[in-house]
Chains A and B, each alone.
Chain A
């Protein structure tokens, strides 16, 4: 009985740990809408995986990375009305995913994909999550200064010898990977919030980028712990509970900070 709870705790904390620093970059670079678009397209991956009878996790990762590359193209061509196009891409991929899902013979728990179902995480899914998070963490840490410099001023970074085009693709791809492996935990509709809210909370107290990244991981972990506890005692849906706790943490921090 405690097995599934242990898996849930490990999976949730793993994700929160990685979502912290990655979420900071999403906040710093104003990429929230990109994250949304990526997560919405994840459902398309699920539908395609089911229809074509492919490995579900791999299909989702593949589709997310494909959309990520598309987004990099859109990001570099600033002349287009990016937010409108992102809106179109996000919601149409979600809708296409839902329509395709209606053609599949297998009964799937749609709710689980939209809002997450942390408590039913299997050992296999946990391994995917572990692999994905480890990969993203290694990429983030080994490129930390470069990514930071690129975030502050891309042209300055390029003149100083950084490969800015590579960094842009790299950042979008690791967001895609996290979204793809996290879908089972908080669901496609709530992934972005787990990336952004803890980072916003940490921003209130941080005095350096590193402090903010660490604080985001910490407050993310607290949200996971709190959400799981609420879900355990009051039988609330796990994914939304985690986001609610994260939001409460942010609100309380903002109030405390405002008083000072």
Chain B
């Protein structure tokens, strides 16, 4: 367990790893208005130590707003936000656009973290697999390297909670899978909670414990498989989302048209016998898994 026994840590967090997981973050009935736009509506969120919680939802669903409320960067219009006492948060912003006029190396960037010492910086870079870019210019990094450096900065504060806003932005597909498994490893080694925003449930699937599907309000939540089959999820993500789910879990609880679109209105029961041939034709990449 990584939580150090400084005087600021309450007694119940400084116990061994096999104790009851501590609640890190609790949001209750959070509303947020910007002008006359209703961005969040009665959102509840509960996150425990060692748990990975993923927020998914379409653009404009309020994911980033919710993250900012959790971080304390925004104050909700109504509702309550409880963070555990002396919670140390490691934050990875959605993107880091450093002005090209600012000459900044990765090392100098990491030194900006409060109380960062050289040994910690080297360790954090090693942990996220970015030791080789230590002396590179921040603006010269690839998408994947940049995200890893941002993760390293988040780790420097020895966080109890990692908050990651679209951690795989600007990263290719292979790199995305690598990043998600890195996040899972970090959760295990630091025993911290993780709250992250993602667009792609299909990639987060194996990396997350719980999913909240957000579209201003909580459409559905639960384990990733559960959410992937929820009518609310299918309605929100339609064809693309359903296809993505099919790649990974491939539960045909919903019906497809010839084009591969989900027919969400269709009610299923045991008498339903799906013909999968059209589906496979529409999604050739599924053929191997389907075996039909």
Contact = CB atoms under 8 A, between A and B. Distances in A.
Do the two shown chains form a genuine complex with each other?
A: yes
Interface of A: 27-30, 145, 148-149, 151-153, 155-162, 200, 203, 206-209, 211-212
Interface string B55-78: 000000000000010011100000
A67 B112 CA distance: 30
A152 B91 contact: no
Interface in B84-137: 89, 91, 93, 96, 98-99, 101-105, 108-109, 111-114
A152 B109 contact: yes
B101 A28 contact: yes
Contacts of A27: 99, 101
Nearest to B156: A160
27 contacts: A29-B99, A145-B111, A148-B112, A152-B98, A152-B109, A152-B112, A153-B96, A155-B68, A155-B73, A155-B91, A156-B91, A157-B112, A158-B73, A159-B72, A160-B91, A160-B114, A160-B157, A162-B114, A200-B101, A208-B103, A208-B104, A208-B108, A209-B102, A209-B103, A209-B104, A209-B108, A211-B103
B96 A152 contact: yes
A37 to B, nearest CB: 20
Contacts of A151: 102
Contacts of B114: 160-162
B153 interface: yes
Nearest to A159: B91
A45 B69 CA distance: 42
Contacts of B153: 156
Contact of B71 (A145, A149, A153, A159): A159
B91 A212 contact: no
B125 to A, nearest CB: 17
A28 B73 contact: no
A158 to B, nearest CB: 6
A162 B98 CA distance: 19
User: Chain A CB within 10 Å — which of B103, B109, B111, B114 has the most?
Assistant: B103
Contacts of B72: 159
Interface SS, A side:
helix
Contacts of B98: 152
B84 to A, nearest CB: 16
Contacts of B68: 155
B250 to A, nearest CB: 39
Interface of B: 68, 71-73, 89, 91, 93, 96, 98-99, 101-105, 108-109, 111-114, 153, 157, 163
Contacts of B105: 207-208
B195 to A, nearest CB: 12
Interface SS, B side:
loop
A159 B89 contact: yes
Question: Which 7 A-B pairs have CB atoms at the shortest separation, nearest pair first?
Answer: A159-B91, A149-B112, A28-B102, A206-B103, A27-B101, A28-B99, A160-B114
A29 B98 CA distance: 10
A149 B109 CA distance: 8
B113 A160 contact: yes
Contacts of B101: 27-28, 200, 203
Given A149-B112, A153-B93, A212 B73 contact: no
B274 to A, nearest CB: 47
Nearest to A203: B101
Given A145-B112, A148-B112, 4 more contacts: A28-B99, A151-B102, A203-B103, A206-B103
Contacts of B102: 28, 151-152, 209, 212
A212 B103 contact: yes
B103 A152 contact: no
Contacts of A155: 68, 71, 73, 91, 93
A153 B153 CA distance: 12
Contacts of B89: 159
User: Chain B CB within 10 Å — which of A149, A152, A157, A211 has the most?
Assistant: A152
A162 B113 CA distance: 10
B191 to A, nearest CB: 20
Contacts of A156: 91, 93, 96, 153
A5 B157 CA distance: 53
Contact of A30 (B99, B104, B111, B163): B99
Given A145-B112, A152-B109, A155-B91, A207 B73 contact: no
